[in-house]
Structure 1
Amino acid sequence: YLDVVAQMLQADAKSLEKGLIEHQVKAGVDTVQVPLSAEEANEARDALSKAIYSRLFNYLVVRINNCLYKPEECDKCRFIGILDIFGFEVFETNSFEQFCINYANEKLHQYFI
């Protein structure tokens, strides 16, 4: 799947692989490549996936809102808004993952009420 992902990201597959299995450590003026453990590499992969989904989600919301916005009809302006219900976690900006959690919570709430 690495080649497919690299192609979709318009990135070099070897560079992507290296970025997921190694990290750089500065030691004085030198930079050393340190291999990640399997668990750390999995966490790096998951973090990249979450970042991609988050950016795509934000891009789509902005894009849809821009298509719906008609300045000449401002009294009837349409927009997409995401309601983040009050919870225990407080984030300045919610991620796509938090959106999915909230969506699942809403569905469960609807099911049981």
Structure 2
Amino acid sequence: MENLPENAQKVEVEGATVDFYKYEKDGITYYQFDTSRCGPPEPMVNAMAGLRLVTDSNVKLVMINHKKPMGLLDKIGENYDIDIENLPDGNVKLVFSYKPEASEKANLSEVSCHG
């Protein structure tokens, strides 16, 4: 996978259908996955699996997708801080961060976006 640091290691994530990688940078643990070549519902399924790992402010989830996943953002946008970056290859990079008092309330069991 592109955009991964050298210290990234492949990890098993329950419920995921794509490879996840884990690495540390500046004291933060990152989990990263790429659904840019996947169709629905895989981006939502993998995002929900990955968001279960974001349990405190020292963990972030990085999602690479072919477009901004509006169904996902509508569903959990208020539960996480989300940085969105348009990549040079046309894909989108989203970084989900823990939001105190809000992330715990996210419903991560419902993987359809009803959009």
User: What TM-score do you get using the length of structure 2 for normalisation?
Assistant: 0.23
Structure number with greater Rg is: 1
Higher relative contact order (CA 8 A, sep 6+): 2
User: What TM-score do you get using the length of structure 1 for normalisation?
Assistant: 0.23
